[in-house]
């Protein structure tokens, strides 16, 4: 099995299934304020991602057309049951732009040492996947970030820190083009 987009049938619904973590409610409010200020100060014509879609992607389970294979989801859930870590604090302190599709930039929150716990959690998920024999391949570099919006704008600047305690991770089905996330499972740390 690989983590690349697999077209299983001609159904137009595309699913991106991934492990991730979500900001706490107070942090989501802060993220929204930073995004609104960025839109206002840079006069951007874009929409912020809604608070319920804010997340940090940790590990891709795969992209699927039509529906995701239940066996893959069940295997991912079983693997997640074996990931054990203590809760940790994450801190984001920069806004940056990442290359996105169609020439647009993803405007994201990033952090330095403040995101080390996310790196450890991603590594724990990766190791659990390997131990289970799943051949899911991640990219060579994991850069923890929270996407706030997409725009035709590049930036990189410091912000007042946004922090929260990560005390769980989730398995999410992102319905591409439908602006919708469906939670398939959650695991406390």
The CATH number of the domain covering residues in 5-188 = 3.90.1140.10
Q: How confident is the model at residue 130 (pLDDT cuts 50, 70, 90)?
A: confident
For the stretch 77-111, pLDDT in tens is 999 999 999 999 999 999 999 987 667 889 999 99
Q: How would you write the chain as a 3-class SS string? A: CCCCEECCCCCCCEEEEEEEECCCHHHHHHHHHHHHHHHHHHCCCCCECCHHHCCEEEEEEEEEECCCCHHHHHHHHHHHCCCCCCCEEEEEEEEEEEECHHHCEEEEEECCHHHHHHHHHHHHHHHHHHHCCCCCCCCCCCCCCEEEEEECCCCEEEEEEEEEEECEEEEEEEECCCCEEEEEEEEEC
Q: How confident is the model at residue 138 (pLDDT cuts 50, 70, 90)?
A: low
Q: Is the pLDDT of residue 8 over 60?
A: no
Mean pLDDT of the chain: 88
Q: Average the pLDDT over 170-180 and give the result.
A: 83
Q: Average the pLDDT over 120-127 and give the result.
A: 92
Q: What predicted TM-score, i.e. pTM, was given to this entire model?
A: 0.87
For the stretch 29-86, pLDDT in tens is 999 999 999 999 999 999 999 999 999 999 988 888 877 788 889 999 999 999 999 9
């Amino acid at each position: 099995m690989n983590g690349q987009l697999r077209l299983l049938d001609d159904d137009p619904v595309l699913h991106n299934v991934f492990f991730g973590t979500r900001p706490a409610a107070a942090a989501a409010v802060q993220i929204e304020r930073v995004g609104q200020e960025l839109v206002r100060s840079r006069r951007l014509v874009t929409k912020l991602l809604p608070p319920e879609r804010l997340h940090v992607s940790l590990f891709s389970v795969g992209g699927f057309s039509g529906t995701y294979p239940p066996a893959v989801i069940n295997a991912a859930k079983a693997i997640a049951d074996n990931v054990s870590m203590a809760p940790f604090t994450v801190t984001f302190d920069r806004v940056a732009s990442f290359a996105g599709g169609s020439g647009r930039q993803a405007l994201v929150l990033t952090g330095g040492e403040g995101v080390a716990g996310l790196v450890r959690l991603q590594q724990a998920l990766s190791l659990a996947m390997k131990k289970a024999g799943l051949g899911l391949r991640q990219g060579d570099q994991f850069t923890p970030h929270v996407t706030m919006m997409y725009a035709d704008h590049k930036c990189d600047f410091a912000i007042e820190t946004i922090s929260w305690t990560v005390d769980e991770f989730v398995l999410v089905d992102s319905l591409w083009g439908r602006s919708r996330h469906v939670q398939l499972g959650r695991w406390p740390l």
